[in-house]
Amino acid sequence: MASRLFPSLHLSLFFFFFYFLLPSPSLADGLPSSSKVPITPYTACISTPFPNFCKSILSSHGDSNLRDYGLFSIKRSLKSATKFSSLVDRYLKLQSSLPKTTVRALEDCHLLSRLNIDFLLSAATTLNLNSTNGFLSIDTEDVQTLLSAIITNQQTCLEGLQAAAASSVQSGLYTPLFNDTKLYRVSLALFTRAFVHKKKKRGRVQPRRGRKLFSNMNFRRDGVLPLRISGQNRKVFELRSGRRLLQSSLDNVLISDIVVVGQDGSANFTSIKDAVAAAPNNTDISDGYFLIFIAAGVYEEYVSIPKNNKNLMMIGDGINQTIVTGNRSFVDGWTTFNSATFAVVGEGFVAINMTFRNTAGAVKHQAVAVRNGADFSAFYSCSFEGYQDTLYTHSFRQFYKDSDIYGTIDFIFGNAAVVFQNCNLYARLPLPSQINAFTAQGRTDPNQNTGISIQNCTVTAAPELASFNGTAKAYLGRPWKQFSRTVYLQSFIDGLIDPTGWLPWDGDFALSTLFYGEYGNMGSGSSTNNRVTWPGYHVLSAPDVSNFTVSNFIYGDFWLPATGVPFEGGLL
């Protein structure tokens, strides 16, 4: 699959003129007849979250078919996103006169607004290129994922401004931010109605170009690798463009190049950031992964994998051997978004045998160890350690396997489409006034294809909580946003979980619009007899849960084989 993110705003503007100032083919050609029938804006907008706002947008387009309305709204969304990004930049030029917390919130909005421009361009490009041939299932999933991420980015920008920005900045940005979010939600609703069907394509989807089927990586959780890399890595591997690793267990993972990070002076780099900076930009997966091996050590640095660094693979010496650590927190003036020790945006990122920490502690409240907003990203045999908000699964499609996640309040949160498989989720000892909530899923629109699926995992107490003589309540999750969606499948749930299972966020907020489910779990905390009676809570059956498996929820058959990370596509 071609890369979906464009490298610069200049290139974005080129595509803007190419696709939107020149006539585009009708989306009605070659597509199902139900979406080719001419309808009025009123009819098209009935099923959107904001019918009157939608009609005001589509009225200038006249009567058309549902699919053309969808493309038209995405074009309008792109114009709005470009204007909002420019507005944020104007405020950033005043940063010398603004509080540091405001500047940090604006910097988040700057990054997120630029990403939205790229995502909207990619969505519109996909719609145009597929307009004459109809849509494959994976094409509709890609566009729905992009539009879902755009709405998440808007919400993240808004929350940062609400928490940290000066009132003058808030008043200048709130109206366009709210209006743009309404437009993006309308675009997603129109697209979903026109293109996305409830019954997804079954069966295995072909891997992306150049990716090899693979299921035998065999990395060990004790840190011993089948692949050992020393300071003499060039002599040992002599890896260059397109060559595969020689070890049989990794033979089908395509590697373009390899560098080593170490602290003993014998490696290519002494910091992870420098190794990332050396990676090539905007590579295609058919070229293979740029592999960064990180030798054992404690790396006190803040690492960011930007959007142009695609298809990076990091391999460490093992959990608690290769450690990336930081201590940024909300209390110390960082937004939750930019408190992350390790942040990923670049598509196709893979991390193996590493530990990621935020050591700010429970008293510093929101303090993220890893923030992940990378599509087709996977973490295998890794550890995530923090307290509140440890792992921020921000957006896009993600997979976590054989990993440990430690925290207290909402320590797995965000609005990605994410599956955790064979992971250990550990509740730590909270502050005396706090409770533990394992998840806080952030779906804000019913058309977003996002949620948290926890399959064959262990839900239990960390050692310091297990040995605690007092009481500390713990819950499977609580609804951070109105359409919060989380399921626990075939997992071991220990007795620390309160019999009600789930915790309200605030009164009856979201209790009828959320989707929480449990299926086939075991352990002393797994009984559903005394669970909450909210309208949105469900004890699931096998047909219901198939939509939350790796194959269907994150389309794992399509992209996971090339990572070398083992997975089960369906129920166990």
Catalytic annotation, residues: 410
Rounded Cα gap, residues 267 and 180, in angstroms: 47
d(Cα 534, Cα 528) in Å, to the nearest integer?
13
Q: In 3D, which of 361, 362, 354, 553 has the Cα closest to residue 370?
A: 354
- Secondary structure of residue 189 in the 3-state scheme: helix
Q: Give 183's contacts (C-beta < 8 A, 6+ positions apart).
A: 53, 57, 73, 76, 77, 80
Residue pair 418/442 in contact (Cβ under 8 Å)? The answer is no
Contact 126/419 with Cβ under 8 angstroms?
no
Distance from the Cα of residue 5 to its chain's centroid: 15
**Dmax (CA) of the chain:** 70
DSSP state of 477: B
Contact 318/286 with Cβ under 8 angstroms? no
Q: Which amino acid is located at 492 in the chain?
A: F
The DSSP code sequence of 141-161 is HHHHHHHHHHHHHHHHHHHHH
Token output for 160: 């940062």
Paired tokens of 250: 């990794």
What are the residues whose beta carbons fall under 8 Å from the beta carbon of 196, sequence distance 6 or more? 140, 144
Helix, strand, or coil (residue 260):
strand
Cβ contact 567:399 at 8 Å: yes
Residue 363's identity, in one-letter code, is: V
